[in-house]
A and B are shown apart, each in its own frame.
Chain A
Amino acid sequence: GAVVSQHPSWVICKSGTSVKIECRSLDFQATTMFWYRQFPKQSLMLMATSNEGSKATYEQGVEKDKFLINHASLTLSTLTVTSAHPEDSSFYICSAGGTSGRYNEQFFGPGTRLTVL
């Protein structure tokens, strides 16, 4: 299957700082990438969908000015959590949609654990 990487795998930051998380599709071109957030013992909640070269589409309740998404190329999408606060602490997972032959395939990254102090 296709490989998606995330960097960093974990990050601890102070309240008020910004954190950037990278999501890369390593062996295929991803026209669409997704960002999810998972709180402990809860489901994966879709935050936004990004298409290469265009603005991201945010789900209801997700602040687009707080969670900046850039999908500048077919292999890289970034999520920047601006002015992070402790309530933003969560596990962030990206996935990439590609033309793998499977119907509507999404390939998931390993996730990034964000802790805001």
Chain B
Amino acid sequence: DQQVKQNSPSLSVQEGRISILNCDYTNSMFDYFLWYKKYPAEGPTFLISISSIKDKNEDGRFTVFLNKSAKHLSLHIVPSQPGDSAVYFCAASSGTYKYIFGTGTRLKVLA
């Protein structure tokens, strides 16, 4: 049972445009959500997070939106840069350190 899903395995975006990565979850007990960026053969790097009491959190080029009623979150990257090309994982937590990761979306930013 995949509690956190990223339905798009890959996404290609032109440099300078907006990248939108989506994530859906099923467990209504999740109260904290995170986005990680990962390069091959490296550990994940934290990008941005959001608590369930908020619906938006912004950090530089990265913005995460949370729609609790739809159990959906998205990561917006504006403007997209070639260095953003990586696999992006969303993760969810329910009051503990334990994270459930999504299946990942491979983003390719074209120069």
Measured CB to CB, the residues of A under 8 A from B are 1, 4, 6, 32, 34, 36, 42-46, 49, 91, 93, 95, 97, 102-104, 106-111, 113
Contacts and interface: CB of A to CB of B under 8 A. Distances in A.
20 contacts: A6-B43, A34-B99, A36-B101, A42-B103, A43-B101, A43-B102, A43-B104, A46-B101, A49-B97, A49-B98, A93-B44, A104-B32, A104-B93, A104-B96, A104-B99, A106-B97, A108-B43, A108-B44, A109-B43, A111-B41
A110 B43 contact: yes
Contacts, number: 55
B98 A46 contact: yes
A1 B42 contact: no
A104 B13 CA distance: 32
Interface residues of B, number: 22
Contacts of A104: 32, 93, 95-97, 99
Closest CB pairs A-B (n = 8)? A97-B97, A108-B43, A44-B101, A43-B103, A110-B43, A108-B44, A111-B43, A43-B101
Contacts of B103: 42-43
B67 interface: no
A1 B41 contact: no
Interface stretch (B14-22, B45-53, B58-66, B69-77): B45-53
Nearest to A51: B97
